[in-house]
Structure 1
Amino acid sequence: MGHGPLSPSGGHPLNYLDFMLEEFKKFILKGDVVSLSTGVLIGAAFGKIVDAFTGGIVKPLLGYMGGDPNVSLKLGIFDLGLIINAVIAFLITAAVIFFIIVKPYNMLMARVARKEEPAAAPPAPSAEVVLLTEIRDALKQ
């Protein structure tokens, strides 16, 4: 292996592994990746709510209005339990995503930001401290 983007230091396997892990770390720590993956998971969970609403409210209503022969008109034609179950499953999924992905990611990013923050310069000494320092230095002479 020569020198290039895939062999950062002469092609030694451990250095290559370190290089790949560092690249992966940079990729994962981008906010876009975490936001996109979280959005996909939440979107999939919300899709189940839409399916439940369609199956529990819209289809029975259309079947009732359109004269669908499979609709049995009893006291209620809507399946609200299907929708309630889907909403509960969505809330559980959202909570798990928040506590397993979002919260730890935010804590990690705050820790990384603290490490990257330069140390604050010490405040300038007050006039009293400067005067006392001058007196001390004069007494040493």
Structure 2
Amino acid sequence: MFKEFKAFIMRGNVLDLAVGIIIGAAFGKIVSSFVSDILTPVISIGAGKVDFSNLFLALNGEHYATLEEAKKAGVATINYGLFMNVVLDFLIVAFAIFLIVRIANRMKKEEVPPPPNSKECPECLSTIPSKARKCAHCGSPQAA
């Protein structure tokens, strides 16, 4: 059973998948940091200095200055600002993956094989040049 497991793990696509997941997790952390530390503050300046991470609705009806204050008070909250950050993360990751796949598809264009240089004589089944008008082996005329 160990040999089968080892053979399964060592298959190329399983290793590729593992590497992809690890790189994806690291990339996700980079994107999360980009959204929360760079993009969100820039957007919040344009939106009237709103901090997305502190956009929430306290379900007890009272007002709290920050989400941290509401959590310290033990109040249930709907954290739509944090949700907006996660949506931005997702959109950026999805767009980045789209660009990567698009570039990979462009690089992977199928090469069109050149037209064949030879054809088969219908009479003697010998291989002759495609531009030949007569078969060199049997002398039969060839259609163009």
Q: Provide the TM-score with structure 2 as the length reference.
A: 0.34
Specify which structure has the bigger relative contact order, considering alpha-carbon pairs within 8 angstroms and separated by 6 or more residues: 1
More strand, by proportion: 2
More helix, by proportion: 1
Q: Provide the TM-score with structure 1 as the length reference.
A: 0.35
